[in-house]
Structure 1
Amino acid sequence: MIYHRITSIDDPYFKPLHELLGTIFPPEEVLAYELWREPLLDPSIHVYAALHGEEVVGATEYRYYPGLRVAMTDFTIIGKPAMGIGRFLLRNREKDLQRLAQESGTVPLGMFAEVYDPYRAAEHGFGGVSPMNPYVRREVLSHIGYKRLDFTYVHPSWDHEGQAVEELDLCFLPQDEERQELDAALIAEFLEGYYSALPNKPEAWLEMVQSLKNRRSVELKPL
């Protein structure tokens, strides 16, 4: 497999990648095709496709914030089972994030990720293929070492409608496995920066961020 970076919607592999996103995630989680044009030009946003021959069989998007010393995994998608795609994406992403941290002269604290809680979700039939089923994804993140940040999490929908998307947890993979909590102000600053591209913020999201600013820390719980 080839780890191929996509930096333009004109890349011939972007269309099949976007179609794959639409089979994996619900509509409110997928940014419209044309709206990807500007984000892909941002050098801090890393979108990679896993290519098997000429076919896009998986993809991942992530970014590193040297000022906060944290990374964010926007998504990891697997298009076919039993090909080792998840491991391939994980290892290549880890190597690239290590490079980004070294180039910025920083030591990472860890990496954020969002994951659906299928035990709360009213509808969890999405996922496209078995490895992307929400139950499986949650368990895989737990095995990798992610922990759930202990607060009620919502985020603005990516369809720009300003709806609050619930039934998700914000998780964190600490570099130090013994870490039991994370600075609440850091979480708030990260979320404000991460969602700055979405102009319509639901009231529930604004209240959540303010609540974080009023706290000292947030516990890391088993996922």
Structure 2
Amino acid sequence: MEYIRITDISDPLFRQVHNLLSEVFPPEEVLEFSLWQEPLEDPGIRVFAAVHQGKVVGTTEYRYYPDWNVAMTDFTIIGREGLGIGRFLAQSRLKDLRSLVADNGGKELFGMFAEIYDPYRVADFAFGGVKPMDPFVRREVLSHLGYERLDFPYVHPSWKGDGEAVTGLDLCFMPGHEGLEAVEASLVADFLTRYYAVLEDKPEAWHSMVDQLRQRDTLRLLPL
């Protein structure tokens, strides 16, 4: 299996990647195909495909923020069972991030953010594709990887760009080392502000959430 970075919307692999995105996630979570050109060219956004026998069988997108020494996992998608795709993507991503941290003069990643669906709170998620993409399975796997829930009610702007608030997810954090019990709320607020800067139309609920984060000192890390 190959771990191949995609940096151009015209790359034939990207059509397969976008098809996987559209099969797995609801429309408000998927950026429209033509709007991907700029993100793919952004050196800070890393989109990789797991390619098996010439076909995309999995994909992941993530970002590294050198000034905070943190990363964000945008998505990880498994397209076929029985090939060990999840582990392959996780290990390949970690190797790449360690290289970025080293280039930044660091020794260890401080941690990684991820938005994680909560199927225990919202039961009508419409996920397509294979069983490993079931939100119950995904949540448990991410817990095993070390992700923990940040202790605050989370909403995010719809990627449709329509200004709607999307709920039913938790913002989580995977510490780079064991024993971290809390994260500075200012880091979370700054991260979310930068991460969603690309979306001009944000719901009032999102602005209120960020304002409330800026009034807190720390956020506890809780089990998933």
Fold shared per TM-score above 0.5? yes
Name the structure 1 match of 2:38.
Answer: 38
- Residue 62 of structure 2 corresponds to residue 66 of structure 1: no
Q: CA RMSD in A?
A: 0.8
**TM-score, L = length of structure 2:** 0.98
Aligned counterparts of 1:61 and 1:173: Cα–Cα separation in 2: 16
| Structure 1 residue matching 2:12: 3-state secondary structure | coil
**Superposition TM-score, scaled by structure 1 size:** 0.98
Q: Tell me, what secondary structure is at the counterpart of 2:188?
A: helix
Are the counterparts in 2 of residues 127 and 134 from structure 1 also a CA contact under 8 Å? no
Partner of 2:78: 78
Map Cα deviations across residues 156-188 of structure 1 (whole Å, 9 max, x no partner): 011111110001000000012101100000000
- Number of aligned positions between the proteins: 223
Could you tell me which residue of structure 2 aligns to residue 22 of structure 1?
22
Instruction: Kindly provide the amino acid, as one letter, of the partner of residue 13 in structure 1.
Output: L
2:141 match: 140
1:130 aligns to what? 131
> 1:178 maps to which residue?
179
Query: Are 1:117 and 2:112 matched, yes or no?
Result: no
CA distance in 1, matches of 2:128, 2:192: 25
- Kept in 1: contact 2:25–2:126 (CA 8 A): no
Using the alignment, how far apart are the partners of 1:104 and 1:196 within structure 2?
A: 24
Provide, for residues 8-46 of structure 1, a one-character-per-residue CA deviation record: whole Å limited to 9, x for no partner: 110010001101110010110000000001111101100
Write the distance in 2 (CA, Å) between the matches of 1:175 and 1:154.
Answer: 25
Matched residues in 2 for 1:166 and 1:4: separation?
32
Kindly indicate whether the alpha-carbon contact (under 8 Å) linking 2:26 and 2:126 is maintained by their aligned counterparts in 1: no
Letter in 1 for 2:23: T
Q: In structure 1, what residue type is equivalent to 2:135?
A: P
What SS does the aligned partner of 1:119 have? Answer: coil
**What SS class does the counterpart of residue 18 from structure 2 fall into?**
helix
Runs of 4+ in structure 1 off by over 4 angstroms are none
One-letter identity of the residue aligned with 1:171: C
Q: Tell me how far apart the structure 1 counterparts of residues 216 and 177 of structure 2 sit (CA, whole Å).
A: 22
SS of match in other structure, 2:193? helix
Partner of 2:218: 217
Q: Which amino acid aligns with 2:37?
A: R
* Contact 1:4-1:50 at 8 Å conserved across structures: yes
| 2:209 alignment counterpart | 208
CA distance in 2 between counterparts of 1:217 and 1:43 reads 31
Identical counterparts, % of pairs: 59
Measured after TM superposition, the shift of residue 129 of structure 1 is 1.2
1: CA distance between counterparts of 2:68 and 2:85?
A: 30
Choose 208-217 or 115-124, whichever is displaced more.
115-124
CA distance in 2, matches of 1:104, 1:194: 20
Letter aligned with residue 192 of structure 1: T
Between the aligned partners of 2:114 and 2:95, the Cα distance in structure 1 is 18
Moved more, 139-148 or 125-134: 125-134
Indicate the SS of the match to 2:162: coil
